[in-house]
Structure 1
Amino acid sequence: MSVFPLDLDQAAQHLMQDYPPAHELHLQFESWKVRLKTNSKELVDDLADYYGPFVAQAQESHVTVHAFETEPLNLDWDWTRKTPDPGKTKIKEAWVNLKGGRAVRKLITGMTFLFGGDYHLAVGPCVKNSNQIINFINNRHIQWHLEKGCLLGHAAGVSFEDKGLALAGFSGAGKSTLALHIMSLGAHFVSNDRLMVENKADETLMYGVAKLPRINPGTALNNPDLASVMPAEDKERFSKLPTKELWDLEHKYDAHIDECFGPGKFHLSAPMNGLFILHWTHSGEPMEIRRVNPDERRDLLAAFMKTTGLFYLPPQGDEEKDPPAEVYVEGLKKVAVYELFGGVDFAKAAELGMRFLKTGDVK
């Protein structure tokens, strides 16, 4: 396998010949449709369980993703290691541009992703790393929206009837936790960590990705609707921990929306009427909220802006760069933006979020 050429088409032909994809899974994310082809029945079963309500009957698709279950490829290419994101130190990815596309290698798992044009290929121990296959499929969905002119936001999203609210915050602020608290008050789920924002003449829309929220033990213990995600032995063990230690735990559970909140609660689009930016701390102070102008609060806007990363390839001929802050300011012109500051208070924030979804205001 180390003799693959730096040519996406030729590499794809080699892989399809060596690992014939005999199994399929069809998914539909509102109007976007994807077909997975793989040599692993186990992977199909795992992804069908994960995606649940988005599994569809066989149909024409926008994208076909091939996932080849095999040992990690040993590709003798001149890889460039990706600089870690701010605040991170571990180098997890390397990449190289190919004729016709790009290859990204996950340095920890050994998974390799090759994509460009009509090719979307995942190669390596796929079943063991099905979460990376999920991310790859969702990244294809994100690319489709960005090519239609959307902005990429780092936010969760919820909706109620004809209104939607995005939730952003710097790392660890609890946007997914807050989204689930608002759901417990009757809202629908739109997205966990990424939103694609479309600024139309008369309204702003937000689109989500089919990624289940990954919650920590503190979130599960403090929301009765999430009790089922935590095994009984974990519940007994973690409930004895101090609050600070509990929230700092690096232990996650996938929260299946339909299982926790009932069927039909995961919607992938909604109007984007508001944006809460979580700028709070575990200080014990009262939580406060105020409406802000994102053009004047670029420090807060940075929590919502999201770089596209290695898995986005701009359309042929376009320059590869992320939109500046000015573009986000323009994109949020019709959105009411609020800063939540002071102490962390999910119950109060959820109440305000639901009030906004029902009335269009937080008063």
Structure 2
Amino acid sequence: MNSTTDWAGIVDARDAATRLLQTVPLCEKPLQLAIGECSLVIRSNSQSLLDRLGDYFHHLPRKTGLATIEVTAIESEKLETGLPFIDWQREAGKSGRKDAYLDLTDGRLVFKVRTGMLFLQSEQWRIAAGPCTAYDNQLVNFINSQVMNWLQQREWLICHAAALVLKGHGIAMAGFSGGGKSTLMLHLMEHPKSRYVTNDRLFLRRQGVRVEAVGIPKLPRINPGTLVNSPRLSPLLDQQRREQLLSLPKQELWDLEEKYDVDVERLYGRDRIDTSTPVPLDAMVILNWSREESAPLKLTKIDIAQRSELLNAVMKSPGPFFQDSLGEFIRDDEALQPAPYLALLKSVPIYEVTGKIDFAELSGLCLKLWD
């Protein structure tokens, strides 16, 4: 299977599926999940992988019956295809090779450069193959990409934002990469009347006079800079690693990329997570503060239509897995269109955060928005 000749002459999704499935037997019982109105069936040749996914998605209802979406995960060695993949252009501010793709007549192969994971996206086939267990986060992302496609095909608009329900109100947190939206969201989760909605991908649509928001079932994934100062999150680090991290200079700790999943229900309690039920969006906070800034923190209401540079922090490309309702794929050079975002956000109170970074103070200001 590692021979490059196995992939010679591949043209369509059926050809790719045949090679990825490798005629391996699948486990008898799949993992079935309900995500709002969307149903998922996940099949694999590895029971331990299905068990791991079941543990990750333990907060979701188990669903039986007809599947809306079916995903197959094949645990195998890295597949050496020899195919002429094209690098997917990364967003501004991001460097290094990450995703590469090859378009077929009726589908797309996506290759993860750093891990060797290979994915097939088409209307009929949704397959992940390679060292899935070692890189299960990429498999979780692929599964969530199917939910994202399902939402966008039903006119939900993708945003780069975290969100939660706070004191009965939906609030979103946006900001440029590394700005602290996940950290702010977890600070606000300390309020007992809060529920987690999403960490990095938020979807919006108009429903009557209101704007609704919904997330995807991906747990918060955070860096050590957030962990070391939170007693709530302390179980995610052993004492030795905590001491190592606390010995680092603050700047180095902030920039360190070492991801940890935050299991919301296990760390914050049951009924504190709702990633698949739409909630009214009552406010959006855009983080435009700075570690180099010494000026007092300010939370200022703004007109987003007059601040295109901040709208750029909210807009998000659907990415290489996105396939619209006609089966067409997005290109990496397609410009994001501000108009749909402005149309939705014009009725949502938007606040800009400036000045020095202070999560405790900003959390207090957010809690006062509806006093």
How many residues are paired up? Answer: 358
Match for residue 113 of structure 1 among 93, 113, 119: 119
Query: What's the offset of the Cα at 1:161?
Result: 5.1
Whole-Å separation in 1 of the counterparts to 2:90 and 2:250 = 30
SS at 1:133 equivalent: helix
Q: 1:17 to 1:227 in 2, by over 3 A?
A: closer
- Quick check: 2:72–2:126 contact (8 Å CA) kept in 1? yes
Q: What is the distance in 1 between the residues matched to 2:307 and 2:346? A: 13
Alignment-mate amino acid for residue 338 of structure 2: A
- Report the CA distance between 1:219 and its aligned residue: 1.4
| 1:198 equivalenced with 2:205 (yes/no) | yes
Q: Does 1:273 align with 2:286?
A: no
Structure 1 segment 69-218 matched on structure 2, within 5 A: 69-160=75-166, 162-186=168-192, 187-218=194-225
Deviations 1:296-354 (A, max 9, x none): 00110100000111110122276845651122111112210000000001011111222
CA contact (8 A) 2:323 2:329 kept: no
Distance 1:168 1:69, change over 3 A: same
CA distance in 1: counterparts of 2:59 and 2:150, whole angstroms: 21
Structure 1: distance between partners of 2:363 and 2:138: 31
Alignment CA distance shift 1:8-1:319 (3 Å): closer
CA contact (8 A) 1:308 1:322 kept: no
Q: What residue is the counterpart of 1:264 in the other structure?
A: 271
Percent identity of paired positions between Structure 1 and Structure 2: 34
Measured in 2, the distance between the counterparts of 1:19 and 1:6 equals 22
Q: CA deviation at 1:26?
A: 1.4
Partner Cα distance (2:199, 2:46) in 1: 28
For 1:244 and 1:72, the matched residues in 2 are separated by 36
Question: Following superposition of structure 1 onto structure 2, how do residues 1-363 of structure 1 map, counting pairs within 5 Å?
Answer: 1=1, 2=4, 3-4=6-7, 5-16=10-21, 18-22=23-27, 23-54=29-60, 56-160=62-166, 162-186=168-192, 187-268=194-275, 269-282=278-291, 283-316=293-326, 320=330, 321=334, 323-356=336-369, 358-359=370-371
- Where 1:157 maps in the other structure, the secondary structure is strand
**Aligned partners of 1:167 and 1:276 also within 8 Å:** yes
Normalised by the size of structure 2, how large is the TM-score? 0.91
In 2: Cα distance, 1:207 partner to 1:317 partner: 23
Q: Deviation at 1:203? A: 0.7
The root-mean-square deviation of aligned C-alpha atoms, in Å, is 1.8
Alpha-carbon displacement from aligned partner over 1:232-252 (angstroms, at most 9, x marks no partner): 212222233443332222222
Q: Which moved more, 1:340-349 or 1:87-96?
A: 87-96
Alpha-carbon contact 1:34-1:64 (below 8 Å) kept: yes
Write the distance in 2 (CA, Å) between the matches of 1:100 and 1:288: 50
Deviates more, 1:283-292 or 1:22-31: 22-31
Gaps of 5+ in 2: none
Partner deviation per Cα, 1:115-141 (whole Å, 9 max, x = no partner) = 111211111111111111000000100
In the superposition, relative to structure 1, how do residues 216 and 17 fare at CA in structure 2: closer, same or farther (>3 Å)? closer
Deviations 1:80-126 (A, max 9, x none): 12223222231122111112211111112111110111211111111
Alpha-carbon distance between aligned partners in 2 of 1:232 and 1:312, rounded to the nearest angstrom: 41
Q: 1:251 to 1:317 in 2, by over 3 A?
A: closer
The secondary structure found in structure 2 opposite 1:355 is helix
Residue segments in structure 1 that go unaligned for 5+ positions in a row: none
CA contact (8 A) 2:321 2:329 kept: no
Flag the 1:110–1:242 CA change in 2: closer, same or farther, 3 A.
closer
